[in-house]
Structure 1
Amino acid sequence: MENEKTHTYEIMEVCLLAGKIMLQSGGETYRVEDTMMRMAAAFGIENSHSYVTPTGIIFSAEGAEPTKTKLIRISTRSTDLKKVAMVNSISRRITSGELNLESALTLLKELDALNVTFPFMVQVAAASIASGCFMIMFMGEWIDFIPAMLSGGVGYIGFLYFHRYIPVKFFSEFLASFIIGLLSFFLVKIGAGQQLDKIIIGSVMTLVPGLLVTNAVRDLMAGHLVSGLSKGAEALLTAFAIGSGIAVVLSFL
């Protein structure tokens, strides 16, 4: 009986670790719940229940012994879809019988500690190019491509640095958009750019929570109302921070 209880807790640890990695990396709520229950079923726990919100995961396993429940808190969230895909790959290997419990736990712990994000300069370069391309997509002129790249790149650098020292995401997004508005105005003022609105719109697009909005809608459509509404509120707060930073610049200049 004691060995069976230990085995059940080990299965729950694997499932919770997989769910934690996915949720912290931007995975949808229903995908996290489905992955955890499939993994539990593959290890022999047919009756399992999971309740996932953006800030926590509750997972319970039913069997011959009394029901066991564990809870973990999610304090940080980011966008790292590669980790989500890697957890899905491990989950498929578990359900196909390729991985045992110990191997799955080892792989998930290695993945949790792994940093698969792009280097700092690659992120900044991608943000710069994306800002210029978004500006063109919003019917801007090619002469404003370089100013949009500069504003978007510098603003994204500010976002990364501010978020490192100020863990509250609202303030880092507000300050980053403030820098974008200030630099865009300066570039137009000295004649390097022409259309201030198009430069600003293109530059702030790298801060817009596109994945968060998409996940909020998908969670609402899947019936996860709490997660959908909370993610939608977080996206709305981000949009408010971006708009406030630009509004402060335009109101004083």
Structure 2
Amino acid sequence: MKTVIIIPARYASQRYPGKPLVELRDRDGQSKSLIRRSWEAAMAVPGIDGVYVATDDERIRDAAEAFGAQVIMTSESCRNGTERCADALAVAGIEADLVINLQGDSPLTPAWFVEDLVKAMAERPDMEMATPVLRCDAQTYAHFVADRKAGRVGGTTAVFGTGMRAIYFSKEVIPYIDPDKADSAYDEVFHHVGLYAYRPDALARYVTWAPGRLEGHEGLEQLRFLENGVPVLCVEVEGKGRVFWELNNPEDVARIESILMAEGEA
């Protein structure tokens, strides 16, 4: 199964303009941009047939090409990473059986998250799209709660039903956990990992649909699949002692740097 990774990256983020080029330090004192660390995470995945950065911004293109990435310039009209992946696939004429969207703000994505996603899609030919979910640990759950109390939009949570089919994704912390039980029940909350696998046909159909009402409220691109009746397979992955977090807000820089300093690369 020919598999490619596309890393969508845009400069004009509403919450954090210029985010892909923010510098992150690790325990060796090295400072690398967010987009470079995300690209290095993608390059560390075995068995991948190609890794591409997809952007509409020349600053990101120049930075990515400088550290050796293959870059595909996409339309400025792309509204989210999934649309950008679809556009990149069409613009570059890439032929693949499976397209992985490793978002440009996810430098802590371990290789086994992607491997587990590819394996799940190989085992489930009936599914057109899949995404990983990670059972919360105490630290991650505390980050979710702290962000919501501070009025910040942090990570995303997921709930799923029979057959691991997604029911909903939200930037709220779902399901609700009684604060009196939070010390023992935090692991019933699943952190949605910003990583997707699509069949090319599903990507092609996605861009023909108008953004849905729920997608608009939550700002979550995967909800467009659910709103159009396309099941989304949730694949539970294991943290194996690593802490996973995306860079959503300026406050996340310190969080991610602390993880890089404690644990090193993904």
TM-score range for the pair, normalised by the shorter chain length:
under 0.3
Higher RCO (C-alpha under 8 Å, 6+ residues apart): 2
More helix by share: 1
Q: TM-score, normalised by structure 1?
A: 0.26
Q: TM-score, normalised by structure 2?
A: 0.25
More strand by share: 2
Larger Rg: 1
